[in-house]
């Protein structure tokens, strides 16, 4: 382990900006000024009511240290002035979750040299989050206390209790974006589940902005928890639970070649993904969402899971290929109410090819070739933003048993998104999404559902399970600018969802037919101009056997649909064999 960390640290101190040269045609940077404002700029809100609220928020917040911000930017004293590095530095700062606004620009001096100004404003970083469920009375499902910028150094410390039906987690987290003052991100999570424990540690050195040449990641995860298969109906939900232990380990390094806007990525790594199951007789059954009172599942029902309990793993060598032809445009109010988003425009393609090593067919560990591919494309002709993302993975089994040769564990998903911000509509953003996802010939636990906060929002998370799904969503998001626009952002949304699920091969899923939801909600951002959004939505189902009286109330502390929510579905992610790819080192997109 210490050798892997030493290799990552060697990357971390490779210069990423442009070093000082003897001759700087455009002048040299002679000073760097950092102007970091707290949550509220009291001069800007001097005429606003409730002055005590602004002052209290600032006093409770520990501002980001100027020294931290100086180390984050790519241009410093002595370097040649470069406008692109200044822009890339601003994007790096905006990627930090505790920075609400950031600008980095130069002011040329009479002697031809430059002063660099780093102008930032902090986000509120102390998270006290309480989440509930209102289906059958109020149930507390989530309690989180988290500080995301401890002592102004970007340190993360938090504790969390979360219950998502079968999964219950009680644990803590520590993280830093600058291990030993390098650019290595380090993270540790650990805690207890319903079944046992979980632990995750990671050392991650991403490509620094668009000019970074090297990246690396070392990661280890061990997780003991239930995998839950849903069946039954919306009126009589039921689940099958089986304890699963998953262990993942990875070490990957990558390099980029070319110029920003046309970068080629090559990488190499090793990984292990191991899945262990309890005996199928340990399967439990939960009726009517009483997860605190499971009972042994009937043997004939538990036996249906057998085709998805055949996964065993061997170590794998992975080769990464990627092409990143990306530039950036800024847009206001796409997913946030008034916050700025750095939108990646262009194309990015990533391909991972993996070969198992040390496989043992006698232990049900066949040799295989693993393939993972992802393609992203976006364009932003005003007033539109158009985004497409497609992903595929599967493995070609060479010497499998029981007819398990050829392509297995095929997972595919497609997301298409469109935003429109017409000038004549003022404060409105119109959003449309179409998404498809599915799995074929899977040998490991896998299931999708139609309902949930990222699906057809008038149905619960467990409603209409299956293996292939189509979703269509449309929203009118509008900013109200009332009642205290200097204190927080407030807006609303009108939305409609439609979707369809196709049954799986296990006999647990259902062909849902087309189902739909209409609804409305409030959107809230604190402080004003924040890039974060909390939502309160009410959805009403229609179509099929839907009852118009079955309202679903949801409270979420981020937008779960949209570009900034990420381009991977979490239900697909839990069944993936690997998330190793050249695109993983690109720092903008995340898992939703």
216 neighbors 226 (Cβ within 8 angstroms): no
Phi-psi domain of 302 (left: phi exceeds 0; alpha: psi -120 through 50; beta: other): alpha
At residue 458, the 3 state secondary structure works out as coil
Q: What is the predicted pLDDT for the residue at 298?
A: 92
Report the percent of the chain where pLDDT is more than 70: 90
pTM, rounded to two decimals: 0.90
Whether 377 maps to a domain, the answer reads no
Higher pLDDT, 236 or 366: 236
Q: Residue 404: pLDDT band by 50, 70, 90 thresholds?
A: confident
Mean pLDDT, range 268-289, rounded to an integer: 89
Q: Please tell me the distance from the alpha carbon of residue 146 to that of residue 130, in angstroms, as a whole number.
A: 12
| 160 and 30 assigned to the same domain | no
Q: Residue 347: pLDDT band by 50, 70, 90 thresholds?
A: very high
| 308 and 176 assigned to the same domain | yes
Bridge-based pairing state of the strands 468-479 and 489-502? antiparallel
Nearest to 480 by CA among 468, 492, 471, 465: 492
Among 90, 122, 154, where does a domain finish?
Answer: 122
Burial (CB count <10 Å: 0-12, 13-18, 19+), residue 396:
middle
Whether 351 maps to a domain, the answer reads no
| 96 and 232 assigned to the same domain | no
| 189 and 232 assigned to the same domain | yes
- The DSSP H or E segment spanning 299 is helix 299-302
For 405, half-sphere exposure in the C-beta direction (CA atoms, 13 angstrom radius) is 7
DSSP state of 561: S
Torsion of CA 284, 287, 291, 292, to 10 degrees: -90
Does 379 score more than 60 pLDDT?
A: yes
Q: Residue 589: pLDDT band by 50, 70, 90 thresholds?
A: very low
Q: Which domain holds residue 74?
A: 2-122
Whether 464 maps to a domain, the answer reads yes
pLDDT in tens, 178-236: 998 899 999 999 999 989 999 999 999 999 999 999 999 999 999 999 999 999 888 88
pLDDT in tens, 412-463: 999 999 999 998 888 999 999 999 999 999 988 999 999 988 899 989 888 9
Does 327 score more than 60 pLDDT?
A: yes
| 113 and 146 assigned to the same domain | no
Burial (CB count <10 Å: 0-12, 13-18, 19+), residue 515:
buried
Among 122, 153, 177, where does a domain finish?
Answer: 122
Does 588 score more than 60 pLDDT?
A: no
DSSP state of 73: S
Torsion of CA 537, 538, 544, 546, to 10 degrees: 140
Q: How many domains does the chain have?
A: 2
- Phi, psi of 588, deg, nearest 5: -90, -50
Q: What is the predicted pLDDT for the residue at 5?
A: 55
Mean pLDDT, range 252-265, rounded to an integer: 96
Nearest to 219 by CA among 202, 232, 204, 234: 202
Determine the Cα angle at 84 with ends 78 and 85, to 5°.
40
Q: What is the 3-state secondary structure (H, E, C) of 200-219?
A: EEEEEECCCCCCCCEEEEEE
Q: Residue 13: pLDDT band by 50, 70, 90 thresholds?
A: low
| 451 and 478 assigned to the same domain | yes
Whether 573 maps to a domain, the answer reads yes
129 neighbors 144 (Cβ within 8 angstroms): yes
Q: Please tell me the distance from the alpha carbon of residue 30 to that of residue 349, in angstroms, as a whole number.
A: 39
467 neighbors 410 (Cβ within 8 angstroms): no
297 neighbors 240 (Cβ within 8 angstroms): yes
CA 271 to chain centre: 21
| 447 and 570 assigned to the same domain | yes
Mean pLDDT, range 495-524, rounded to an integer: 93
| 34 and 94 assigned to the same domain | yes
Residues in a beta bridge with 107: 115
> How does the average pLDDT of the chain come out, rounded?
87
Question: Residue 88 sits in a domain of what CATH number?
Answer: 3.10.20.310
Residues in a beta bridge with 203: 186, 218
Whether 416 maps to a domain, the answer reads no
Q: Any idea which of 38-42, 482-486, 554-558 has the lowest mean pLDDT? A: 554-558
Burial (CB count <10 Å: 0-12, 13-18, 19+), residue 360:
exposed
Question: Residue 140 sits in a domain of what CATH number?
Answer: 2.40.160
| 147 and 47 assigned to the same domain | no
Among 103, 122, 141, where does a domain finish?
Answer: 122
DSSP state of 331: E
| 112 and 161 assigned to the same domain | no
Q: What is the predicted pLDDT for the residue at 569?
A: 85
Mean pLDDT, range 34-59, rounded to an integer: 84
Q: Please tell me the distance from the alpha carbon of residue 568 to that of residue 564, in angstroms, as a whole number.
A: 11
Whether 361 maps to a domain, the answer reads no
User: How close are the terminal C-alpha atoms of the chain, in Å?
Assistant: 30
Q: Over the Cα atoms of the chain, what is R_g?
A: 25
126 neighbors 144 (Cβ within 8 angstroms): no
Mean pLDDT, range 543-559, rounded to an integer: 70
Q: What is the predicted pLDDT for the residue at 8?
A: 58
| 138 and 254 assigned to the same domain | yes
Does 22 score more than 70 pLDDT?
A: no
| 118 and 134 assigned to the same domain | no
Q: Residue 18: pLDDT band by 50, 70, 90 thresholds?
A: very low
Strands (E), 314-467: 316-332, 340-356, 368-379, 384-397, 406-420, 428-440, 448-449, 465-466
Q: Please tell me the distance from the alpha carbon of residue 391 to that of residue 592, in angstroms, as a whole number.
A: 15
592 neighbors 568 (Cβ within 8 angstroms): yes
Q: What is the predicted pLDDT for the residue at 590?
A: 36
472 neighbors 433 (Cβ within 8 angstroms): yes
């Amino acid at each position: 382990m210490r050798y892997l960390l030493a290799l990552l640290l060697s990357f971390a101190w490779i210069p990423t900006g442009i070093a000082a040269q003897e001759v700087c045609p455009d002048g040299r940077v002679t000073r760097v000024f950092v102007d970091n404002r707290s949550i509220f700029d009291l001069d800007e809100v001097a005429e606003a009511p409730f002055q005590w609220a602004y002052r209290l928020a600032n006093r409770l917040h520990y501002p980001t240290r100027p020294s931290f911000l100086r180390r984050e930017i790519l241009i410093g004293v002595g370097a040649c002035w470069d406008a692109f590095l200044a822009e890339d530095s601003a994007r790096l700062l905006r990627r930090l979750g505790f920075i609400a606004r950031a600008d980095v620009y130069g002011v040329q001096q009479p002697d031809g040299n430059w002063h660099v100004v780093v102008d930032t404003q902090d986000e509120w970083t102390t998270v006290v989050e309480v989440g509930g469920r209102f289906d059958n009375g109020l149930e507390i499902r989530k309690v989180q206390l988290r500080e995301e910028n401890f002592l102004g150094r970007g340190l993360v410390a938090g504790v969390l209790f979360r219950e998502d039906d079968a999964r219950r987690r009680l644990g803590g987290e520590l993280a830093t974006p600058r291990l030993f003052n390098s650019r290595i991100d380090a993270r540790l999570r650990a805690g207890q589940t319903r079944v046992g424990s979980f632990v995750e540690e990671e050392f991650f050195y991403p490509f620094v902005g668009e000019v970074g040449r090297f990246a690396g990641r070392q990661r280890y995860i061990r997780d003991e928890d239930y995998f839950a298969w849903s069946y039954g109906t919306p009126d009589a939900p039921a689940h099958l639970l089986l304890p699963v232990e998953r262990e993942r380990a990875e070490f990957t390094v990558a390099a980029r070649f070319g110029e920003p806007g046309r970068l080629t990525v090559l990488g190499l790594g090793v990984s292990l993904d191991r899945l262990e199951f309890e005996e199928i007789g340990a399967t439990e059954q939960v009726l009517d969402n009483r997860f605190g009172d499971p009972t042994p599942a009937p043997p004939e029902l538990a036996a249906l899971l057998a085709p998805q309990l055949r996964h065993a793993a061997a170590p794998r060598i992975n080769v990464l290929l990627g092409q990143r032809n990306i530039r950036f445009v800024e847009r206001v109010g796409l997913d946030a109410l008034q916050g700025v988003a750095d939108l990646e425009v262009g194309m990015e393609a990533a391909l991972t090819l993996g070969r198992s090593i040390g496989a043992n067919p006698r232990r049900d560990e066949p040799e295989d070739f693993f393939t993972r591919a992802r393609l992203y494309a976006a364009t932003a002709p005003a007033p539109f933003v158009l985004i497409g993302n497609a992903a595929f993975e599967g493995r070609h089994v060479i010497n499998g048993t029981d007819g398990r040769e050829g392509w297995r564990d095929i997972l595919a998903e497609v997301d298409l998104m469109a935003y429109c911000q017409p000038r004549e509509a003022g404060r409105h953003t119109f959003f449309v999404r179409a998404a498809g996802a599915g799995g074929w010939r899977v040998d490991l636990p896998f299931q999708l559902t139609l309902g949930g906060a990222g699906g057809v929002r008038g149905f619960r998370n467990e409603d209409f399970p299956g293996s292939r799904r189509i979703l269509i969503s449309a929203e009118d998001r509008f900013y109200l600018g009332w009642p205290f626009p200097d204190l927080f952002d407030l807006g609303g949304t009108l939305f409609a969802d439609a979707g369809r699920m196709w049954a799986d091969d296990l006999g647990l899923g259902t062909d849902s037919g087309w189902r739909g939801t209409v609804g409305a909600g409030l959107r809230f951002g604190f402080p004003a101009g924040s890039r974060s959004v909390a939502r309160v939505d009410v959805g009403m189902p229609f179509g099929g056997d839907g009852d118009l009286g079955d309202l679903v109330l949801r409270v979420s502390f981020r937008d779960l649909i949209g570009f900034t929510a990420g381009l991977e579905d979490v239900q697909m992610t839990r069944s993936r064999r690997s998330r190793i790819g050249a695109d993983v080192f690109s720092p903008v997109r995340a898992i939703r």
